[in-house]
Structure 1
Amino acid sequence: MKASICIDKHFTAGTVDPRIFGSFVEHLGRAVYGGIYDPGNPLSDENGFRKDVLELIRQIDVPVVRYPGGNFVSAYHWEDGVGPKALRPNRLEPAWTAIETNEFGLNEFMDWTKAAHTSPMMAVNLGTRGAEDAKNLLEYCNIAGGTLYSDMRRSHGYEAPHNIRLWCLGNEMDGPWQMGHKTAGEYGRLAAETGRLMKMVDPGIELVACGSSNRKMPSFGYWEDQVLEECYDQVDYLSLHTYYGNPQDQSPDFLACSADMDAFISSVVSICDSVKARKRSKKQICLSFDEWNVWYHSKEQDKQLPRWIQAPPQLEDIYNFEDALLTGSMLITLLRHADRVKIACLAQLVNVIAPIMTDQNGAWVQSIFYPYMHVSRLGRGTVLQTLIQSPRYESQYGDVQFLDAVAVENGENGSLTIFAVNKNLSEDMDLTADLRQYSNYHVHRHIVMTHQDLKAANTREQPHQVFPENSGVSSLSNGILTSRLPSKSWNVIILKH
């Protein structure tokens, strides 16, 4: 099978905002307790932070982490998680039917972000609380001192403000599963008033309004339009969430899900620009795809878990090789929309639908870890418009190409990196690309991740079942790149001077 890509260094799709390589830590399952935070474990540091987990997170180079939810935030009292730990209450956590001890809270999270070399994306409760509480939380975090809540923070041992710049105005408020679920008009008005109040306190913050929880929501489109009609002037980003699964074991359809993600992004961009035109505004709303991943493996087993226990093993999907292929395609999709998608969060980071898993004896990485790490570390710079000529196949999302690909030029180190997925399950692909504008380059490395078994997965006992290798076959001659992409493979082709 033959395919080609065409790029021109003068035709760019957008500049990559590093925050599109973000992730998410929610008070859900073992994401916090037993995941990033495990006091008393010999693998943890003096703060209770798992050192093995921190090392793996640093390998990905995660620039931003969303916290504390997620559905969890819509009934959360942030005050429960600050101050002396002995005084913090146990609470029923209705979103995930668990017990929250509040041993880990806001200040612990801020300490953890420093250890993980990342920055916070903080969510406020617009479900059971509202604008006043959001203002108080912002004051606690960002005001130097001399006021009730800033002095409260100082009394808790944090003299300097946390200076959190990025804030989510609630979570999935369109969803009937959400505590404090609202109509589009109700939420839009609340987001506008909350945003206005928060920017009175700190004009330099950025705000993310809730878009639709997924593209299949009955209110999709109407929700975005009405929310932005109310809060366009107060917010900076609109959120998107989506998860994909393969419960019917239809792998070709599953690998085509990135086409749905692409259409979702394009649709929301159109709605944002429609509201902009209607308001005659000069302001452009960008997108925060702050929840995305594969999620379906654990849903049946989660139905068997008991209610009202601490840190139950919820949403612990064990990811296989085909999940990694779709993850790669979804990352390519985010890059192709780098002009408007400025923030994105792989949901989540540890144990809960996550690239990193732990037990009491160590941590290991799942198959999806590798494309996430590759794109985060090698996909920064300028995205080139990448035109693909590839054989196609019919899927539930229509006629899709076997090849997903995008090229990113890094002006700082002079590299050109091509990320590519061959979705053909039986045939290798001979890829060519006219790179005469890069004729003085050479193929530095061609990383390949492939496996004969789409269901192969990494485990604690066999952590390298799905693993990338520097075994790709690529060459650049007279400005023409030729590459062999194995059937069902993730590829990273790095070219340098």
Structure 2
Amino acid sequence: MMRKKASMIIDKEFAIGEVDPRLYGSFIEHLGRAVYGGIYELGHPDADEQGFRKDVVALIQELAVPIVRYPGGNFVSGYNWEDGVGPVTERKKRLELAWGTIETNEIGTNEFADWAKKVGTEVMMAVNLGTRGPDEARNLVEYCNHPKGTYWSDLRRSHGYEQPHNFKTWCLGNEMDGPWQIGHKTADEYGRTALETAKVMKWVDPTIELVACGSSNRAMATFAQWEATVLDHTYDHVDYLSLHTYYGNGDNDTANFLAKSLDMDDFIHSIIATCDYIKAKKRSKKNMMLSFDEWNVWFHSNESDKKIERWTIAPPQLEDIYTLEDALLVGCMIISMLKRADRVKMACLAQLVNVIAPIMTVNGGGSWRQTIFFPYMHASVYGRGVSLKPLIQSPKYDSKEFTDVPMLESAIVYNEAQNQVTIFAVNRDLEDTLELAVDLRQFANYRVVEHSILENTDHKASNTMANPQNVVPHAGGDAALQDGRLSASLPKLSWNMIRLALS
């Protein structure tokens, strides 16, 4: 039987933009077992002196996560940051209204800063613009970033942190367009609040970068008027606009599910167009950059989450167990962002541990890598450099929601300093291997270092604590390069990473 074929041309001149390392960020919210039982578990056999799980630290270091958004999420819109600083024994337990639990506040700003240093990441700090506003936000920046000699900076020093944390990236609230959000606002209400908050935060520390809230998702009735109104208020005072999206396969239609990254492509393009409209309206010379600070597959745990008892501490919420097909869509979503690396500069896979996460743990026990761990890890470790636009010819298919879905989804990253090229490629075909031919004549003196493949005979296969190696990449790919022409077989329903280096 004739195998399907795809082709691609890769040229150094077809540069999209520099990949900001923060594109591979993640997210830890005070939600479920992300913090308590996830990154932190006092008394765990593998916990350090502060209670942070060293096994989890090691897995996060494998991912080379450059930045982590904290402490929310919906949580932040009802959070008093002062509850999470000072002596732990004196901290208040609170009803956590966003997720219906009790927050112990054992972990707060300073402890999270300590943990971030242990894993080698930066912090993307979020401020509460739901129940609070500019005053509390400016105080938090002073507490975190001002050296000394003022009330809030000296309070931090009295808490044992002589040197400022110097958090450079800050989110102005979370999903403020959502009726589910504590302190939900109209676009004008939020825009005015975000503007005044941005002003005082940057007066305290002019070096920080700020992210304004875009729509919670593109299905919101207020999309994209929300973005236009918010940017009308904040354009000159913020550096990024946020995007959030999650996809699911509740109707069990794999072909349609794997095409949903096309929706993400269109979402990104729509937001860029809205940003550029406001740029034109304001006669500005500044391009607004994007922060895709929540994205993932999320649907497996929806039913079980409805049964969780309210007002418990760190219940198992949003604990999706991911399959191979979920990992393939995560790979396609990473590719979507790399295709607009000129504008999408930050992103946060939501979330990092236990809560819709690449890493899972057992309380008092072990930890393991979910299927989605691997495309995320491949991109984060090997996707640093300049994103190149490949010219692709691919067979296509139609699905329930999409037409002309390419079987081949691919992104290219060229790291000139290290003389390396990485090809990320997903074969969406449910039945057949895709034979890929790549014109790489500008890289004729390169060699194939690795062709890693994530595949399984069962596209619903997942990893568990008992079987953590069920779905893992193997190095058995057949990619070969000769005289600037690369050939490779991409198995059906597979994630592929092909690494090239100068001979």
TM-score by length of 2: 0.98
Kindly provide the CA deviation profile for residues 407-446 of structure 1, in whole angstroms up to 9, marking residues without a partner as x: 1111121011100000001000000011111111111110
Matching of residue 180 in structure 1 with residue 183 in structure 2: yes
Kindly provide the CA deviation profile for residues 23-72 of structure 1, in whole angstroms up to 9, marking residues without a partner as x: 00000000000000001111100010100000000000000000000000
In 2, distance between residues paired with 1:461 and 1:73? Answer: 35
**What's 2:160 paired with?**
157
One-letter code of the match for 1:386? P
Deviation at 1:206, TM superposition (A): 0.1
Deviation at 1:399, TM superposition (A): 2.1
Contact 1:69-1:171 within 8 A present in 2 as well: yes
Structure 2 counterparts to residues 284-433 of structure 1, below 5 A: 284-359=287-362, 360-395=364-399, 396-433=401-438
Structure 2 counterparts to residues 45-84 of structure 1, below 5 A: 45-84=48-87
In 2, distance between residues paired with 1:207 and 1:220? Answer: 21
Q: Any unmatched runs of 5+ in structure 2?
A: none
Q: Any unmatched runs of 5+ in structure 1?
A: none
One-letter code of the match for 1:258? S
Matching of residue 494 in structure 1 with residue 495 in structure 2: no
**What's 1:168 paired with?**
171
Q: Judge which range, 289-298 or 382-391, deviates more.
A: 382-391
**What's 2:240 paired with?**
237
Kindly provide the CA deviation profile for residues 367-416 of structure 1, in whole angstroms up to 9, marking residues without a partner as x: 00000000000000011111211011112133211110011111121011
Kindly provide the CA deviation profile for residues 302-344 of structure 1, in whole angstroms up to 9, marking residues without a partner as x: 1011000000100000001100000111111111110000000
Q: Partner of 2:296: helix, strand, or coil? A: strand
Matching of residue 484 in structure 1 with residue 489 in structure 2: yes
In 1, distance between residues paired with 2:14 and 2:264? Answer: 23
Residue 475 of structure 1, aligned match among 475, 480, 487:
480
One-letter code of the match for 1:318? I
Kindly provide the CA deviation profile for residues 162-209 of structure 1, in whole angstroms up to 9, marking residues without a partner as x: 111000000000000000000001101111110011111111100000
In 1, distance between residues paired with 2:217 and 2:416? Answer: 35
One-letter code of the match for 1:473? D
**What's 1:437 paired with?**
442
Structure 2 counterparts to residues 120-131 of structure 1, below 5 A: 120-131=123-134
In 1, distance between residues paired with 2:236 and 2:405? Answer: 38
Contact 1:421-1:488 within 8 A present in 2 as well: yes
In 1, distance between residues paired with 2:154 and 2:483? Answer: 66
Residue 464 of structure 2, aligned match among 454, 459, 463:
459
Aligned residues: 497
Structure 2 counterparts to residues 142-153 of structure 1, below 5 A: 142-153=145-156
Kindly provide the CA deviation profile for residues 99-126 of structure 1, in whole angstroms up to 9, marking residues without a partner as x: 0000010000000000010000000000
In 2, distance between residues paired with 1:285 and 1:397? Answer: 29
Q: Partner of 2:398: helix, strand, or coil? A: strand
Structure 2 counterparts to residues 161-310 of structure 1, below 5 A: 161-310=164-313
In 2, distance between residues paired with 1:208 and 1:329? Answer: 25
In 2, distance between residues paired with 1:215 and 1:132? Answer: 31
In 2, distance between residues paired with 1:411 and 1:67? Answer: 33
Residue 113 of structure 2, aligned match among 101, 110, 114:
110
Residue 13 of structure 1, aligned match among 13, 16, 35:
16
In 1, distance between residues paired with 2:257 and 2:464? Answer: 23
In 1, distance between residues paired with 2:322 and 2:5? Answer: 30
In 1, distance between residues paired with 2:383 and 2:89? Answer: 44
In 2, distance between residues paired with 1:478 and 1:115? Answer: 45
In 2, distance between residues paired with 1:40 and 1:11? Answer: 53
**What's 1:29 paired with?**
32
One-letter code of the match for 2:483? N
Deviation at 1:5, TM superposition (A): 1.1
Deviation at 1:146, TM superposition (A): 1.0
In 2, distance between residues paired with 1:475 and 1:3? Answer: 15
In 2, distance between residues paired with 1:464 and 1:122? Answer: 35
In 2, distance between residues paired with 1:412 and 1:346? Answer: 27
Deviation at 1:479, TM superposition (A): 1.2
One-letter code of the match for 2:463? N
In 2, distance between residues paired with 1:256 and 1:91? Answer: 42
Deviation at 1:361, TM superposition (A): 1.2
Deviation at 1:239, TM superposition (A): 0.0
In 1, distance between residues paired with 2:449 and 2:147? Answer: 49
Q: Judge which range, 400-409 or 165-174, deviates more.
A: 400-409
Contact 1:90-1:99 within 8 A present in 2 as well: yes
In 2, distance between residues paired with 1:169 and 1:424? Answer: 41
In 1, distance between residues paired with 2:284 and 2:35? Answer: 41
Contact 1:43-1:362 within 8 A present in 2 as well: no
One-letter code of the match for 2:454? M
One-letter code of the match for 1:151? D
Contact 1:321-1:457 within 8 A present in 2 as well: yes
Kindly provide the CA deviation profile for residues 122-144 of structure 1, in whole angstroms up to 9, marking residues without a partner as x: 00000000010000000100111
In 2, distance between residues paired with 1:43 and 1:92? Answer: 30
In 2, distance between residues paired with 1:285 and 1:230? Answer: 13
In 1, distance between residues paired with 2:53 and 2:477? Answer: 35
In 2, distance between residues paired with 1:286 and 1:398? Answer: 29
In 2, distance between residues paired with 1:215 and 1:103? Answer: 36
TM-score by length of 1: 0.99
Deviation at 1:283, TM superposition (A): 1.2
One-letter code of the match for 1:232? Y
RMSD: 0.6
